[in-house]
Amino acid sequence: MRDILDEATDKWGVKVNRVEMQEILPPEEIRTAMEKEMRAERDKRAKILQADGEREYQIRVANGEKQARILRAEGEAQAKILVADSEKKAILLIAEAVKDTKTDPAQFQIALRYVEAFKEIVKQGDKTVVLPYESSALLGSVKTLGDIFHK
């Protein structure tokens, strides 16, 4: 373009240093094609941004769920440890309480659990209670409880 301008203006002694185009009016077909290309590029960028946003959302949701599961598991583990420690203390206290009675602490615990289980059975209101064949051992356990509480 510069060569064409120089050729046209040299014969008058004019040198063109800069040319500025104010308006370009391409044919309608080219304008339509350019608009389609710009629209396609904007749509492409919008889809990429939408996909990136969706991906980021999914990652954040997954991380939140993961953290929630971890915290629940840690809480359950701590609860189990506290329950185990409490049971240990209870067993030690029972062992200490029954050591003078010459009663086996394990036998005492079993008898206590039998009594608790039968209380629950009675609360259910059923009229028929089926006892296992080995329920005769329960009578010895109940006797042990009675002996301990009377001392």
Q: Which residues contact 101 (CB under 8 A, 6 or more apart)?
A: 147, 148, 151
Q: How many residues does this entry show for the chain?
A: 151
pLDDT at 144: 54
pLDDT tens, N- to C-terminus, the chain (151 residues): 778 888 888 888 888 888 888 888 899 999 999 999 999 999 999 999 999 999 999 999 999 999 999 999 999 999 999 999 998 998 888 888 877 777 777 777 787 887 788 788 777 776 666 666 565 555 555 555 555 555 5
CA separation for the pair 14, 101 (Å, rounded): 127
Question: What's the rounded Cα separation, in Å, for the pair 18 and 115?
Answer: 107
pTM of the predicted protein model: 0.49
User: Scanning the structure block, which residue is given the tokens 């039968």?
Assistant: 118
Hey, CA dihedral for 16, 22, 28, 34, is it positive or negative?
Answer: positive
SS3 43: helix
**Closest listed residue to residue 95, CA positions, set 83, 109, 110:** 109
